[in-house]
Chains A and B, each alone.
Chain A
Amino acid sequence: MSEPTDTPQSTETPTPPAPPTVTVAAPDTSSVSTFTVDAGASNLKEAVVGYLNKIRGGETGALPAFAGLVLLLVVFSATTKVFLTRGNLANLPTQAAPTILIAMGLVFVLLLGEIDLSAGTAAGLASAGMAITVNHGGNLESQLKGGMFGAYVVFMVIALGVAFWQRLWAFGGAIVFGVVVLLTHLGSNQVVAMLLAVTTGSAIGILTGYLRARVGIPSFVVTLALFLAWQGVLIQFLGSGNAIATRRFQYINALENTNIKPVWGWIVLVLFVGGYGGFTLYRSVKRRSEHLSAEPVSIVLSRFFVLAVLGFVAVFFLNKNRNTNSKGKHIEGVPWVVLLILILLVALTILLSKTTFGRHLYASGGNAEAARRAGIDVPRMRIAAFGISSTLAAIGGVVLASKQGGVPADAGGGNTLLFAVGAAVVGGTSLFGGRGRVRDAILGGLVINLIPNGLQLHPNLGASYQYVITGGFLLTAAAVDALSRRRQPT
């Protein structure tokens, strides 16, 4: 008994956090080879079989959303002549942008198995603050009567305190910026005013998250209450006026209504798709050479090829003149908001899949107890998720204001939020938590907005059809999610 105990024991360093030379590495080197064959599929056929197995096992990924997109495209192009021709499709990105942005934020909340019903009205409220600020030379104080301005500042400062207390430095920094803008009237600058809206969103999210995570109110109730409350605050913000126009503010208006120059559209395409292809290819080759599990090069290349073709088609059509009045000004190019969404997609995807924060977010959503035992501060992750959700919602609110040319009293109300939740779920994000990606929001947002986009070409099919069809898609997506969950072994 004593022989095996002595040797390994003596080699072990007494300092526990010592470098990871595992004491068990030595005894049976031949068995290391057991794991060299696990590097995943090595060729296309294996990969396809593996993918099919995954789908059968419930890991459907982007497939349902993609199928829905193709189905809608086929149906609409078959039933109307103008669907593909009149540049109708070119409106889709700007129509879908607010939904997509709000849904991108919701993905983070849904990942934790939570819901944020207030994201829509929070978006409206945040954009109202921006709209009033730019319209009055940055002086929000002069417009918010009856202590409302003071309440706004106090609200931001409380959120600031919570953010720093929870060591959410990025949020803290953002909210500090917002407070400074509020107090110094810097919001006369449009870009600063937009950032004020965004940081207001951060503050709203941090406090929502605090109520959920530390006070312990179920997220459905917290956000339902805030959904109602923000609507009221928004109306109070607008005062007697019906809506606050933002059309004349060049930068705010530009987001949804102007396009980048056609040549830049191509450059953006090359940068994003090329960059993605290059990165995934490099990763695959490098990992393979290091005997780590890696995606087969053939898969990486086919995915790159599909993306490149889709991107090419999209940029090609968006770069065509879509002004129906042939004598009018040329309307062509990729809308600015698409660039904004792409940048956020890349940044948030890196955050979710390449950082410790993202890993801990998935873990907290997959099994909160396991995450807690692993030393993850799950409530802090919740607050951060709500913070991200409302921050993204506020960006969506700014884009919505740009699209509508102003902030009406019902900005972000009605179905705005529900369509965004629908987009995330249709895209493949699970309502049960633990599963979802940022790109789901984009795919789902396109599907959800393609329905009204195509239906408006059928004058005899009214809004009733839009609701029923959208409902059907959502139901299908949720069913796929629930069934896939059931099929997984427990």
Chain B
Amino acid sequence: MSETPILELRGINKSFGAIQVLHSVDFRVFPGEVMALVGDNGAGKSTLVKCVAGIYPMDSGEILFDGSPVQVHGPRDAAALGIEIVYQDLALCDNLDIVQNMFLGRETTTPLHTLDEGSMERRARETLAGLSVRTVKSVRQLVSDLSGGQRQTVAIAKAVLWNNRVVLLDEPTAALGVAQTEQVLDLVRRLAHNGLGVVLISHNMNDVMQVADRITTLYLGKVAAEVKTVDVTHSQVVELITAGRTGNIGLKPAEAAQSA
């Protein structure tokens, strides 16, 4: 694809004390595509995400957004660029309703400095409708009344509401049943369809093969391979995750063995 990636990481290194967690990692996300980020536990997925989010400072490497280098020193920087991360534990307030949660921390107010409930509700509704969300009965439902899938939907819709251009989803289907997983994966596809760059972090190979356009495999802090989903099989991806290489894709045999 000739297009410039919307988000590109080049040569990211990150150590915690003596332990190097990321070894010159390259990672890119294209607009309108779902990029899956897979890897075994401890491969560095979460660390990479937290570097993008500005939660961890990187030791070296650069972040390019829309082709130009940017500095991300904190969550606010990431948010200002239009990068949103939907964490596994969702971070929704049970005692607030859907609209209130979607606008939390970024409420719109009237000239009198009171909350502009009308415009917030309208926009929440438009966003949910734009994502073809049909599982939520009312935008004024309390989050405590929602199922796991509905909560995930709200968390993702919240990310979309703010004109974000890159959304990182951390294990969005981990806690969901079959039907709800389908709904959320549908939503992930629609995000990409709407032009966003989507990063899907998942352990579930079925989910990854189903919705991802490309797959980046991390193996012990190194990128084993970045492949197009159509070019690989399920078992090849698993091999990349567990051994760092498969056939002629992946790390050089020596490198893979040495890392292990």
A residues adjacent to B (C-beta < 8 A): 1-2, 4-9, 12-14, 16-18, 20-29, 31-32, 34-35, 38-40, 57, 287, 290, 292-293, 350, 354-356, 359-360, 362-363, 365-367, 369-371, 373-376, 434-435, 488-489
**In the complex, which residues of chain A have a beta carbon less than 8 angstroms from the beta carbon of B140?**
38, 40, 293
A20: nearest chain-B partner, CB-CB: B123
State the B residues within 8 Å of A (CB): 1, 3, 30-33, 66, 75-76, 79-82, 87, 89-96, 100-101, 104-109, 113-115, 117-118, 121-123, 125-134, 137-140, 144-145, 147, 160-163, 165, 190, 192-196, 213
Query: A370's contact among B91, B109, B128, B132, by CB below 8 Å, is which?
Result: B91
- Knowing that A5-B31, A24-B160 are A-B contacts, what are 13 other residue pairs whose CB atoms are under 8 Å apart, sorted by A's residue number? A4-B32, A4-B193, A8-B32, A9-B195, A28-B130, A31-B130, A34-B129, A292-B117, A292-B118, A374-B91, A375-B76, A376-B105, A488-B145
Cross-chain pairs A/B with CB under 8 angstroms, 15 sampled: A8-B195, A25-B130, A27-B193, A28-B132, A31-B134, A287-B118, A359-B107, A362-B95, A362-B96, A363-B93, A363-B96, A366-B94, A367-B93, A375-B105, A434-B95
Note all chain A residues with C-beta closer than 8 A to B93. 362-363, 366-367, 370-371, 434
Task: Determine how close the nearest CB of chain B comes to the CB of A402; give it in whole angstroms.
Answer: 33
Are B213 and A23 in touch, CB under 8 angstroms?
Answer: no
Residue A40 contacts which of B32, B108, B138, B213 (CB distance < 8 angstroms)? B138
Does B138 contact A24, Cβ atoms closer than 8 Å?
no
Residue among A8, A26, A38 with the highest chain B CB neighbour number at 10 A: A38
The closest CB in chain B to the CB of A38 belongs to B138
Contact residues in A for B127 (Cβ distance below 8 Å): 22, 24-25
Which residues on the B side are within 8 Å of A370 (C-beta)?
A: 90-93, 101, 104
Checking B32, B113, B163, B190 against A22 with a beta-carbon cut-off of 8 angstroms, the contacting residue is B163
Q: Which of A4, A356, A370, A374 has the most CB of B within 10 A?
A: A370
One of B105, B118, B139 near A374 (C-beta < 8 A)? B105
B210 to chain A, nearest CB (A): 15
Residues in chain A near residue B104, CB distance under 8 A: 359-360, 363, 370-371, 374, 376
Check A5 against B195 for contact (C-beta < 8 Å): yes
Given contacts A22-B163, A290-B118, contact A31 B80 (CB under 8 A): no
Q: How far is the CA of A112 from the CA of B62 in the complex (A)?
A: 40
Decide yes or no: A434 and B195 within 8 Å by CB, A4-B32, A293-B138 being known contacts.
Answer: no
The chain A residue with its CB closest to the CB of B124 is A35
Partner of B130, one of A24, A367, A489: A24
Chain B minimum-CB-distance residue to A29:
B129
CB <8 Å contact, A366 and B161? no
Structural contact, B139 and A373, CB atoms closer than 8 A: no
Complex Cα–Cα for A365 and B81 (A): 29
Chain A residues closer than 8 Å to B213, beta-carbon distance: 1
**Cα-based distance from A57 to B144 in the complex (angstroms):** 10
A1 touches B33 (CB 8 A): yes
Separation in Å of the A287 CB from the closest CB of chain B? 7
Determine whether the beta carbon of A32 is less than 8 Å from that of B165. Answer: no
Of chain A, the residue at the smallest CB distance from B85 is A373
**Whose C-beta in chain A lies nearest to the C-beta of B100?**
A359
Q: Which residue of B lies closest to A27 (CB)?
A: B130
Complex Cα–Cα for A354 and B112 (A): 10
The residue that B163 contacts in the complex, of A18, A29, A367, A375, with Cβ under 8 A, is A18
Q: In the complex, what distance in Å separates the CA atom of A369 from the CA atom of B89? A: 10
A366–B94 CA distance with the chains assembled, in angstroms: 6
What is the CB-to-nearest-CB distance from B187 to chain A, in angstroms, rounded to a whole number?
A: 11
* Bound complex: CA A21 to CA B140 (Å): 21
A356 touching B138 by the CB < 8 A rule?
Answer: no
Closest Cβ of chain A: how far from B133's Cβ, in Å? 8
State the CA gap A293–B125 with chains docked (Å).
11
Complex contacts, A29 vs chain B, CB 8 Å? 129
Going nearest first, the 7 A-B pairs with the smallest beta carbon separation are: A5-B32, A8-B195, A374-B105, A24-B130, A38-B138, A366-B95, A366-B93
Indicate if the CB atoms of B105 and A360 lie closer than 8 Å.
Answer: yes
Given known A22-B163, A34-B134, contact A367–B33 (CB-CB < 8 A): no
* Contact A354 B114, beta carbon cutoff 8 Å: yes
Q: Roughly how many angstroms separate A229 CA and B1 CA in the complex, as a whole number?
A: 71
Instruction: Determine the chain B residues whose CB is within 8 A of the CB of A371 once the complex forms.
Output: 93, 104-105
Please state if A2 and B1 are interface contacts (CB–CB under 8 Å). Answer: yes
The complex places the Cα of A367 from the Cα of B91 at a distance, in Å, of 7
What B residues does A9 contact at CB under 8 A? 31-32, 195
Residues of B contacting A7 in the complex (Cβ-Cβ under 8 angstroms): 195
Report Cα–Cα, A18/B75, bound state, in Å.
Answer: 19
Contact with A4, one of B82, B109, B195 (Cβ below 8 angstroms): B195
Contacts A9-B32, A359-B100 hold; do A32 and B125 have CB atoms under 8 A apart? yes
**Which of A6, A24, A354 is most buried by chain B, counting CB atoms within 10 A of its CB?**
A24
Report whether B32 and A35 are in contact in the complex, using a CB–CB cutoff of 8 Å. Answer: no
Q: How far is the CB of B164 from chain A (nearest CB, A)?
A: 8
Q: Smallest distance from the beta carbon of B260 to chain A beta carbons, Å?
A: 35
